[in-house]
Amino acid sequence: MTEDPKGKIIICRCNDVTLKEIEDLIEGGITDIEEIKRLTRIGMGPCQGRTCIPLVISIIARKAGKKPGEIPVPATRVPVRPVMMGVLAGEMGDDDEE
């Protein structure tokens, strides 16, 4: 049973993933957060999972009858906040005022 019959409860803002989409996967037997991540793109947007991952953990816990502590958090990888390629390359050049 979904709590999101209209598909208007947004869990991941970056990739517009709804509660319903996640619940459907869990009901289909997929409860590994890494799998849910790859199939729905939760946690893969520009917020890097900051908003959605804790929510998804609680959804899995509720639907799959697990404790939140039993659900491993997905790896945190560099960069821990998005960075422009040009900045990592070194000097952005022309528009640098300093």
Contact positions toward another protein, by CB under 8 A?
Answer: 3-4, 6, 8-11, 13-16, 19, 28-29, 32, 34-35, 38-39, 41, 44-48, 50-52, 54-55, 57, 59, 68-69, 71, 73, 75-94, 96, 98
Q: How many CA atoms does the CB half-sphere of 15 hold within 13 Å?
A: 20
Residue 63 CB, nearest distance to another protein (Å)? 12
Task: Tell me the backbone φ, ψ of residue 89, rounded to 5 degrees.
Answer: -70, -30
CB nearer to another protein: give 65 or 88: 88
Look at residue 40 and give its three-state secondary structure. helix
Residue 27 CB, nearest distance to another protein (Å)? 11
Distance, in Å, from the CA atom of 10 to the CA atom of 64, rounded to the nearest integer, reads 20
